[in-house]
A and B are shown apart, each in its own frame.
Chain A
């Protein structure tokens, strides 16, 4: 099997920041404040930093494990080499499913957001079909179009963050942050665990890696964008902490949107309607990247035609969206996804990292003994 990627399809190292940003900053940024402060209260900003650092280590691991051997620089191939054909295939299928599931959670949570804020009584079947058609259109264009939509999404989101931050300033109460330390380390760590869910998405590196020209150079960009994302989460969290009182924040599901709802600019108010709609581009980009990753994984592992798998998984997402309607189930699924994601990044990735290193030593040892 030949998985060599022609030079034509490869991307410049710095472009890796766009898919990473889009896949990490998802719908979570609208609502994460509530979950994060559950344990650590107003010390939650420490948790954000802690989680950020742990993710830095994981990204470092990913780069290490992918660059060790030249013939296996994506996770699907590594799985096969490391765990053998059967177990490896099992892992690969799990990874593909994980990405499809991630796309589904992203999509469903967004649809729910629209349902709550914009169209409470609308039948969402048609909207989901249209949106998923758009995803199909984007992903079937290959990496270039997936990346393109990620670039647009990043630009849109960067442009929208600046006014968001600056318009909140008049409403802030900086003293809310005090006292700086009134929770135990255990509570802060528990919050860190909740925060990790919001960083999920950088795993796409495991599949994007071979598409980067001189991938080693992209590592600094990956760390940079991770740092930026951490900063973004930190800024938005701190803004929310200074904006709301702790009790208010515990009871608001989408604090970021509530904040945006306060702003008024000439001609327009209640900007959250536009913020939610604007978010659509980012959601599309996120789903496209996940779907692309799933397609890529199945293509390498099982040689399934990407378009076929894409169509199948999008149809599955549509059906699931129709079947699952109540908020509790969505929350449960989302919790399951976050749980699986945590194991994926904190258990599986280090495991593979160790496995790859051991295998490399072993191979070197075998060669040496001969």
Chain B
């Protein structure tokens, strides 16, 4: 018994014997003048209508008056652009499985013509950005087909510098993976690193780009996403023009862009579509939301368990009043509610949209109300937990909000053991961890450490377009200036008045 699955065949007969077991494998004989041509294909992978009209019908017509001498002449016989000749078994196998028909004179002839008539099926037509919704701005997202996605990308990056490099990954799936960057902007080092890491991947099936993201990340022992994955076209284009590399695998609607920094995850494309004052405000709200959702419940635990002195007397009274009937220590109380929220979220994500919403509302209100009435938790805690859950969903990137929700739990544990000190021990670990993380060699929290004051302006706030006309320096891009100036010269009559 061999350990590895044997997938590459050197022997044509063996290959044909194996694939002829499948019921969707078809083999036809077509008259080509005096000779007959053997055409084999997987009926599920090719467009049979094209085969009929573009291959079989023309051949029938031509074979009435002439002979097909050589396979190379097939190109002139049929109105199919892409016809190749090959006698390599590996190539034939790959092409056959990618949706080509192969034709040869004799059944065992090594020399085959490869006719490209692949069809794309099972791709959804709807390419709305369902998971990264924005009110303002385009709602164009990606679908599960690589070619469509690259096409979508090209239609917005209208320069020849957009370089798409494809490689095959996956011993079983042989998935096409595209590495996209803009030549002249992106630092070549990142492209090379990504390519080298992708080439080193040994995996059987690539289902989604996020899988690759984990294989090529600098550090796999972290809850933080080290690459940003998005299904929004504007995000990918923005990342590319900033000087990042984008990766996508066939069959996945998600692009992965990198090197990314922590701040990239709190940027929403909407920030740039709204006036900069509003954009900055919303971004600050988002960052505050993250901090709040990380520390709110652990602070509640720290205060109610150890440091009730820090609560002023006016507030202490309602707090004690609401906790009066609760039989648990704050830790259990908090864990109970937090886990309820996690259940709701997890169930809501698995259920169909409409049921999910209903369940969320019913579950949230009914369970929340009932637990308070039953005296299992305090009113104030329900408010805090609901707020922090809400705040964690304000993060625009799903993976990041997952990481933040996860990190709440170690924080809760730490603060239940050592109070505020435990909370800060947790923060200490978090900070050191963040400092040590890198994404493609770029420090993860870059504008803060290493401190780059010029890049700091598009981190906490979103400044006006005049000030963000340069690419971030930490990406070490080949050209620094994005555009000269965003100031519009006001010369028309309206402005003069």
Contact = CB atoms under 8 A, between A and B. Distances in A.
Contacts of A137: 429, 432-433, 436
Given A118-B307, A148-B445, 20 more contacts: A114-B421, A118-B306, A119-B418, A134-B429, A141-B432, A144-B450, A145-B435, A145-B436, A148-B432, A148-B435, A148-B436, A151-B451, A152-B448, A270-B307, A273-B310, A276-B420, A277-B424, A280-B424, A281-B427, A284-B428
B418 A127 contact: yes
B495 interface: no
B421 A149 contact: no
B65 interface: no
Given A130-B425, A131-B425, A134-B425, A271 B310 contact: yes
Interface residues of A, number: 36
A119 B418 CA distance: 9
Contacts of B435: 138, 141, 144-145, 148-149, 152
A269 interface: yes
28 contacts: A118-B307, A119-B421, A127-B418, A127-B425, A130-B425, A134-B425, A134-B428, A134-B432, A137-B429, A137-B436, A138-B435, A145-B432, A147-B449, A147-B450, A148-B432, A267-B311, A267-B315, A268-B310, A269-B310, A271-B310, A273-B420, A277-B420, A277-B423, A277-B424, A278-B424, A280-B421, A281-B428, A281-B431
Interface string B475-494: 00000000000000000000
A274 B420 contact: yes
Report the 4 A-B pairs with minimum CB-CB distance, sorted nearest first.
A148-B435, A277-B420, A148-B449, A280-B424
B448 A151 contact: yes
Given A131-B425, A134-B429, A145-B436, A267 B420 contact: no
A56 to B, nearest CB: 25
Interface in A224-252: none
B381 to A, nearest CB: 16
Interface string B248-276: 00000000000000000000000000000
Contacts of B428: 131, 134, 149, 280-281, 284
A339 B418 CA distance: 34
A274 B310 contact: yes
B202 interface: no
Nearest to B453: A14
Interface string A31-63: 000000000000000000000000000000000
A331 interface: no
Interface residues of B, number: 28
A72 interface: no
Contacts of A274: 310, 420
B309 A270 contact: yes
A121 B324 CA distance: 26
B312 interface: yes
Given A118-B306, A264-B312, A127 B431 contact: no
A284 B421 CA distance: 12
B243 interface: no
Contacts of B448: 151-152, 155
A269 B421 CA distance: 17
A268 B311 contact: yes
A264 B431 CA distance: 28
A127 B421 contact: yes
Interface of A: 11-12, 15, 114, 118-119, 122, 127, 130-131, 134, 137-138, 141, 144-145, 147-149, 151-152, 155, 264, 267-271, 273-274, 276-278, 280-281, 284
A144 B432 contact: no
Of A12, A127, A144, A277, the most chain B CB neighbours within 10 A belong to A277
B289 interface: no
B418 A269 contact: no
Contacts of A147: 449-450
A114 B418 CA distance: 11
A273 B309 contact: yes
B330 interface: no
A277 B311 contact: no
Given A264-B312, A268-B311, A268-B312, A280 B425 contact: yes
Contacts of A122: 418
Nearest to B449: A148
Contacts of A145: 432, 435-436
B368 interface: no
A270 B443 contact: no
A274 B451 CA distance: 26
A119 B445 CA distance: 34
Of B310, B423, B433, the most chain A CB neighbours within 10 A belong to B310
Of B307, B436, B443, the most chain A CB neighbours within 10 A belong to B436
Interface string B430-460: 0111011000000101001111000000000
A269 B312 contact: yes
Given A148-B435, A148-B449, A280-B421, A269 B427 contact: no
A137 B445 CA distance: 17
A264 B312 CA distance: 8
Given A145-B432, A269-B311, A15 B450 contact: yes
Nearest to A269: B312
Nearest to B315: A267
B218 to A, nearest CB: 13
Nearest to A261: B309
Nearest to A264: B312
B425 to A, nearest CB: 6
A122 B419 CA distance: 12
A138 B451 CA distance: 18
